Structure 1
Amino acid sequence: MAGGIILAILVLLFILLFFRFVPVGLWITAYFSGVKVGIGDLVGMRLRRVAPAKIINPLIKATKAGLKIDTNQLEAHYLAGGNVNMVIDALIAAQRANIDLEFEQAAAIDLAGRNVFEAVQVSVNPKVIETPVIAGVAMDGIEVKAKAKVTVRANIERLVGGAGEETIIARVGEGIVTTVGSAPKHSIVLENPDSISQTILRKGLDSGTAFEILSIDIADVDVGRNIGAKLQADQAVADKKIAQAKAEERRAFAVAEEQEMLAEVQRMRARVVEAESEVPLAIAEAFKKGNLGVMDYYNLKNIQSDTAMRESIAKEAPHQTTQGQES
């Protein structure tokens, strides 16, 4: 009795492990969906660490859509880190839209990090890329702000290695700045905004990108700041500061020169005082040697007194003249 219970438990565990390891339900679904896959193939997927449901379910969709795809292709793409379900959806959408898209090409686009299903949708239904507000300055110094809407269609052939939306926006911005900058007056751009679109389209901005530009429409044009006047004002302020600096430099030089002259005068006065201090010594020496007599000495003193008197009269004369005029 106990042996029968143990045997029943072992059989139950075996059945549970069997249905756990072997996806019988998935095999039945595939069989009735027209997908020819054996139990051994599903077990092999388990051994290869491939989730059978992520291979069989997309394969069922592909078979129902009339696509001929081998399980080995799906397994290889899954093991490479690709999204099998998205690739199958993209192939089905491309078939319905009469777009020539092979599995290997779709798998390469998916592994490149792009949404292959969205790319097929954009190839069928073009999308609109709106640029931010881009400012350019015309030749008259007036800033012009513009916003553009770019209608693009995905280019399936260039999805691998082609530039994305950021490049389109950057190139359109460059075209707007170039067009506005080459305009003699900002009013010309405001009168004819379509000139921006024409200039940008002539540049072939979609080369090397994953998109084909269908049209570029200028959504908004506005006048910004007067950059020319601001630059002139800034230049005037800079010139004023330079002139002030030069004037201050000249003033400092004049002050330094004046100080130098005053110092020179002081040195000259010092030399005069020094020379005057040597006069009595020279007179005494002349007396000793007999080169100067007493009368000569008194004559010298008289001359000095006369000179001092004349200088005093000369200093008082202008003062007296000024008082006479005031009277």
Structure 2
Amino acid sequence: MPGTGIFGLIVGIAILFFIIAIFFSFIPLGLWISAIAAGVKVSLGSLIGMRLRKVRPAKIINPLIKGNKAGLNLSTDMLESHYLAGGDVNKVVDALIAAERANIELGFDKATAIDLAGRDVLQAVKTSVTPKVIETPLVAAIAKDGIELNAKARVTVRTNIDRLIGGAGEDTIIARVGEGIVTTVGSSELHKDVLENPDRISKTILEKGLDSGTAFEILSIDIADVDVGRNVGAKLQIDQAQADKKIAQAKAEVRRAMAVAKEQEMKAQVEEMRAKVVEAEAQVPKAMAEALVKGNLGVMDYYNMKNVIADTDMRKSLSNLSDDQESSIEE
């Protein structure tokens, strides 16, 4: 039937277009044509293999075209292996091109190793050509006279490609420069010496070779700013004086407490002695009575003793009276 033939033709055309669509979606024919036009030999089998290995062909072919146009000797296998290792193929090729133009010796293996190590290989090449400036934070240091100085430095560095793998980064440079500032200021007798010659900080730091073991080469260190901070020495002296004062007060309080305790002890001893005297005086009449009874003391002896005691009391009274009169006359 005529209708059935037309329907079959339409279905066949649809299936053909579907197959062509799948073919062109799986095989980047446009990318293959671009590579051929650029003079880069890439087979369709290579592109199909990339698809099967879950490699995006554009991530390989476009950098390959760019590298070959720049005169680099690259292949799809080299770029694909780096891509499968997790590297950035495009950045590596750009770094190789930049190094070639700047006459910097940088091979493909070293560039891929730097990239896989987590370093920005393209930025490293750019920094090798155009040095960068690292600005340190404000560093506080104290001179021997106790005055604090706040300094800030600008470090001009250039990337050392050979030490980029395993070399320390910018944080180490900043830490070492800060240490150099503290050492230089701390060894100065007067803070004015540093203010008058801030370049002595730069000279001291450069002499230490602070770029050893880092991924950079220090070209210069410039002291951007030096400000006078606190008088730490005076503050420490004040704090020490306050501490000495508190120690002296504590010792005085201890001595006062000991003196009070000693006074109380002496008062207790005096009261005890008075009690003993009173007790002894209370025994005198009893002893005299026993002496009279036993005949050891006669009546006349008793009266004579009383007379002596009375005479003694009278003399004491007269003596006290004369002292009072002399005092009133002197007044």
- TM superposition score category, shorter chain reference: 0.7 to 0.9
Report the counterpart of residue 260 of structure 2 in structure 1. 255
**What is the alpha-carbon distance in structure 2 between the residues aligned to residue 189 and residue 115 of structure 1?**
38
Amino acid at match of 1:273: V
| Match of residue 92, structure 2, among 87, 92, 98 | 87
For residues 57-68 of structure 1, what are the structure 2 equivalents within 5 Å? 57-68=62-73
Aligned partners of 1:112, 1:315: CA distance in 2, in Å?
110
Q: Which stretch of the first structure deviates more once superposed, 228-237 or 313-322?
A: 313-322
Q: Deviations over 1:19-50 (max 9, x none)?
A: 33332222222222222222222222222222
TM-score (norm 2): 0.86
More deviation in 275-284 or 92-101? 275-284
The question of 1:46 aligning with 2:47 is answered no
- The equivalent of 1:174 in structure 2 is 179
Alignment partner, residue 73 of structure 1:
78
Deviation at 1:283, TM superposition (A): 4.3
User: Is the alpha carbon distance of 1:293 and 1:162 closer, same or farther for their aligned partners in structure 2, counting shifts above 3 Å?
Assistant: same
Compute the displacement of 1:105 (Å). Answer: 0.7
Distance apart, 1:52 and its partner CA: 2.0
In structure 1, the partner of 2:156 is 151
Which residue does 2:113 correspond to in 1? 108
C-alpha RMSD over aligned residues: 2.7
Asked if residue 55 in structure 1 is aligned to residue 60 in structure 2, the reply is: yes
The verdict on how the C-alpha distance between 1:307 and 1:57 changes in structure 2, with shifts beyond 3 A counting, is farther
Question: How far apart are 1:319 and its partner, in Å?
Answer: 4.1
Matched to 1:133, the amino acid is L
Alpha-carbon deviation of 1:157? 0.3
- Distance in 2 between the 1:315 and 1:204 partners? 96
Residue correspondence of structure 1 range 267-278 to structure 2 within 5 A = 267-278=272-283
CA 1:305–1:128 in 2, change beyond 3 Å: closer, same or farther? same
User: In structure 2, do the counterparts of structure 1 residues 100 and 304 end up closer, same or farther at CA, with 3 Å as the change threshold?
Assistant: same
Question: 1:151 is paired with a residue of what secondary structure?
Answer: strand
Structure 1: any 5+ residue segments left out of the alignment? none
What are the residue-to-residue correspondences of 1:1-327 with 2, within 5 Å? 1=4, 6-286=11-291, 289-311=294-316, 317-326=322-331
SS of equivalent to 1:140: coil
Structure 1 residue 6, shift from structure 2 partner: 4.8
1:212 positional shift: 0.8
For normalisation by structure 1, the TM-score amounts to 0.87
Q: What percent identity do the matched residue pairs reach? A: 68
